[in-house]
Structure 1
């Protein structure tokens, strides 16, 4: 996904202004709302910087290495927030960030894409082979994340934690292998399923960003920019986590609401603007690929990575999420899967996905 089609704003200057403000907010103990806004806006521009740098490196490294790079850095904010929360023993917060990212991608971003693509148009159709393939992977991910909840009702109370922990670690290894298989499927054996939508995506990007030239940055400069942006993202995310208590009290909400809504929205803003802009021509195949790929990165890679990392640092991170969050995520994936399997869509389908996301946000706020 060409990141240059994103916000179309020079991210360098805002970041240079926002990072000192974020540091000042910490040093001088500014109001929690100011800390939240400054760091969230900074993360938005840093996400764009990471996306652009990753795309530049992909041109230097090739498809396979580029795909692995995107898997690692494509969800930097979620991975950073999850890792920092895990290190501090805040496992529910780490899990909430992952769930929130999945929900914002498949409901809010995808819903906006469908509305943009099909408004004032007749009923349109998806690429059947691509949609069915990705929807199957999406359902496998959902089932894997739902199984620990089912296991909790079958084990004796005295054995629940150890059994579910063992199951989660073993399943995470399987999910990582499945993600590697998906990359091989995508890059080697079934490229033809993705070529047409990638070609259309590139053409649409050129129409959207006529004023933005493609960069031909050197490998060294791209690496430096990527490392710098990741380090700045870690800094801003750490500031957010340190102020979570004050933010939750000021906003009158829970810690999990900030993890479920604010952090994913900041992280997915660049990606969302990109795919929504590209879907204006009515071709949503590229949007499906980007959104479902992001879901697979979170569900198969990021969550599994956190479970394995927790195993390494002796933190009991599992695939057993909050029951309400698990049900909400599974139902959302089920709805999107049904839409993809149906093969046809109109703008009303996108409006329903956006409405479902809004309802879930309201439910998370009131919990």
Structure 2
């Protein structure tokens, strides 16, 4: 065994240079693990989605959405694999930054496409509720579904799996900080929405006219503006927290990368087999990244274009954002984590569940607020109280399961059941035109009434 070890190349070395088409497609097909390689059979759905968009988008828009949804899975899988291949060829700090960036790039593209297509003047094109649901849905999918499946799969093969406390403590602590930041704008709005005072004037037997107070009073408009400013400031603080976290992981001698993750990877039962697999060259990794980015962007644009038809067919906004979109955007990450849990590398699997949740909460979610700010669109962090409650409860449930530093199949099954219950509740949750963020709809109706009836008030006063 010792004689064969030197023949095994470094995990990031391919032994070649340049671009070789046959080798490129061989490595692409084998992917990072067996489960990921099975995803490659879905590649035909990418051109089918494009064909459906060109020829059948008017007559069969739901087919375009479905084909694009499935086509997103192999595209995102290739993006994650190519990013991983390129990161392994880089120095440690650069590798961590590259893998972190491409780990969340699908989510960033999705949120940017959504915010660009948002139109606050058109009720049917109001995509902010979908974006907000997708932000929290991405966190919940990783914490409940992906982590639950990892615990369940790992528990089937191993009676129990112990993981290092630093992984769970760092992940759970950062998620609590993120939840605090995401909760503040919603809590601020909920606490003060009843103080957004209005004056009701009844003139004779006619309709009641609703008017806000003077512009210097605490009105609905001022409250909304305050929440928007708080959301933007909070987003900057959360993004700063994320980069502090990355710097700590990349430079500290006591980071989870040095103490736990690398040691766990060396204990992987499939490590030698993985190292012997053919690998991308640096050029091939870049080609794979560019190709996957083009496919991911195209699929996401098609998805977003058909959201109006999907919602019109009866799929609730909250279910679409909280369940459907996060499932497909995180598919590659989930497959990798499940494979690691099956191989007994529970610390790495746990990090691949908690890491993306941290990225979403501290980076991609706040980033879409900043992008909306730059585009002049009022994207804020004023989430539904229902969704905030789901987030906080999920973090508490996961934190309780991580507390003892050990996992089994029962805990995994329970986390999946919690996710299923969440999905059921989201299916029956009303769309924003019925149940808007923190009762915003009722206050907006008052504001709209005051605006549209000022002329009527003037006419009534003139008659007196």
TM-score, structure 2 length as denominator?
A: 0.73
Q: Give 1:5's match in structure 2, choosing from 25, 33, 37.
A: 33
The answer to whether the 8 A contact 2:171-2:358 is kept is no
The yes-or-no answer on 1:277 pairing with 2:336 is: no
The yes-or-no answer on 1:52 pairing with 2:116 is: no
The yes-or-no answer on 1:201 pairing with 2:238 is: no
Q: Give 2:141's match in structure 1, choosing from 91, 104, 108.
A: 104
- Supply the distance in 2 between the matched residues of 1:336 and 1:319 (Cα, whole angstroms): 23
What is the match of residue 298 of structure 1?
A: 360
1:29-64, CA deviations, whole angstroms, 9 ceiling, x for partnerless residues? 253442233112211001111011111221333332
1:46-101, CA deviations, whole angstroms, 9 ceiling, x for partnerless residues? 11110111112213333323333333321233222211111122222122221111
Q: What is the aligned length?
A: 364
- Supply the distance in 1 between the matched residues of 2:386 and 2:173 (Cα, whole angstroms): 23
1:299-357, CA deviations, whole angstroms, 9 ceiling, x for partnerless residues? 00101111111111111111111221121112111211222223333221111100000
The answer to whether the 8 A contact 1:83-1:94 is kept is no
- Supply the distance in 1 between the matched residues of 2:117 and 2:273 (Cα, whole angstroms): 42
What is the match of residue 82 of structure 1?
A: 111
- Supply the distance in 2 between the matched residues of 1:146 and 1:57 (Cα, whole angstroms): 36
Q: Give 1:241's match in structure 2, choosing from 279, 295, 304.
A: 304
The yes-or-no answer on 1:312 pairing with 2:361 is: no
The yes-or-no answer on 1:143 pairing with 2:180 is: yes
The answer to whether the 8 A contact 2:182-2:381 is kept is yes
SS of the aligned residue for 1:230 comes to helix
| Structure 1 stretch displaced more, 69-78 or 35-44 | 69-78
The answer to whether the 8 A contact 2:144-2:415 is kept is yes
- Supply the distance in 2 between the matched residues of 1:208 and 1:333 (Cα, whole angstroms): 36
Which of structures 1 and 2 has the bigger CA Rg?
Answer: 2
- Supply the distance in 1 between the matched residues of 2:325 and 2:105 (Cα, whole angstroms): 11
TM-fit CA distance, 1:208: 9.9
The yes-or-no answer on 1:259 pairing with 2:325 is: no
What is the match of residue 189 of structure 2?
A: 152
- Supply the distance in 1 between the matched residues of 2:273 and 2:71 (Cα, whole angstroms): 23
Name the structure, 1 or 2, with higher relative contact order (CA <8 Å, separation 6+).
1
> Residues 23 and 120 (structure 1 numbering): CA distance in 2 closer, same or farther, change over 3 Å?
closer
The answer to whether the 8 A contact 1:117-1:282 is kept is yes
The answer to whether the 8 A contact 1:117-1:279 is kept is yes
Q: Give 1:331's match in structure 2, choosing from 393, 408, 414.
A: 393
| Structure 1 stretch displaced more, 131-140 or 338-347 | 338-347
- Supply the distance in 2 between the matched residues of 1:202 and 1:231 (Cα, whole angstroms): 34
- Supply the distance in 2 between the matched residues of 1:257 and 1:64 (Cα, whole angstroms): 38
Q: Give 1:27's match in structure 2, choosing from 29, 33, 54.
A: 54
Question: What are structure 2's unaligned runs of at least 5 residues?
Answer: 1-10, 13-30, 119-126, 197-218, 430-464
- Supply the distance in 1 between the matched residues of 2:273 and 2:321 (Cα, whole angstroms): 32
- Supply the distance in 1 between the matched residues of 2:294 and 2:233 (Cα, whole angstroms): 31
Which segments of structure 1 move beyond 6 Å, counting only runs of 4 or more? 10-13
> Residues 192 and 141 (structure 1 numbering): CA distance in 2 closer, same or farther, change over 3 Å?
closer
1:196-220, CA deviations, whole angstroms, 9 ceiling, x for partnerless residues? 33332355373596598141412x3
What is the match of residue 351 of structure 1?
A: 413
> Residues 71 and 277 (structure 1 numbering): CA distance in 2 closer, same or farther, change over 3 Å?
closer
| Structure 1 stretch displaced more, 120-129 or 307-316 | 120-129
The answer to whether the 8 A contact 1:254-1:365 is kept is yes
The answer to whether the 8 A contact 1:178-1:300 is kept is yes
TM-score, structure 1 length as denominator?
A: 0.91
What is the match of residue 38 of structure 1?
A: 67
